[in-house]
Amino acid sequence: MKYPILAFPPCGSRLSLYRPLDDRKAEALALPRRFRYTHPVKPSAPPWLPALNTTLILISGVAILVGYTFIRTRRTTLHHRSMLVGTAFAGLFLVVYMARASLFQTKIFAGHGVIRFIYLLILTSHTLLAIAVGPLALITLVRAFRGDFARHKRIARVTLPIWLYVAASGWIIYWMLYSL
C-alpha cells in the first residue's frame, strides 16, 4: 500500500479538511506529530455530473456532424449555426469538466488485464487529440469568420475527424469507467 503524500496544513493550522494519518503508519514512518497530515480529501462527484459532461460533449459532436451534412448540401446558414452550437457545447463541456476536476475526486478505472490496456489506449489518444482539437477549432472558426473559406476548408478537413473522434471516445471512456 502506498503512503499518502505528506504536507503541512495551511498556516500551521489543523483544519478538518486534513485527514490525519493512521497512528501506526505515522509511527512506522517515524514522523513527528506536526507532519502527520495529508492533502485535503476531495469529495466524490455527484453521480449525475459525469453523465452531464458526456452529454455535453456528445451534443457537441452531433452538432458538428449535422453542420458537416449541412455544408455538404450547400446550406451555409444552417452549417454556420450548427457549428456555433457545437462549439458552444464544447466550451460548456470544458468549463464543467475543469470545475469537476478541480472540485471532486477523479474516478480510477477498476478493470484489469487487456481491458485496462484498451481503456488506457483510448484515454491516451482521446487526451492528446482533445488537447489538439482546441487550437484547431479556434483557427477553423477564425478563418470562417474572416471569410477565408479556402483555408477554412483545408483546416476543417483535419479538425472535423479529430473533433468527432474526441466526442465519440469521450462517450466510450465514460461508458468504460462507469459501466464496466
Q: Are residues 90 and 120 in the same domain?
A: yes
Please tell me the total count of domains within the chain.
Answer: 2
pTM: 0.73
Does residue 106 sit within a domain? yes
CA distance 159 to 173: 21
Q: pLDDT tens string for the chain (180 positions)?
A: 444 444 444 444 444 444 555 555 555 565 555 554 555 677 878 888 988 998 999 999 999 999 999 999 999 999 999 999 999 999 999 999 999 988 888 888 888 899 999 999 999 999 999 999 999 999 999 999 999 999 999 999 999 999 999 999 999 999 999 887
Residue 30 structural domain: 10-40
Q: Are residues 148 and 63 in the same domain?
A: yes
In degrees, rounded to 5, the angle at the alpha carbon of residue 168 between the alpha carbons of residues 128 and 178 is 95
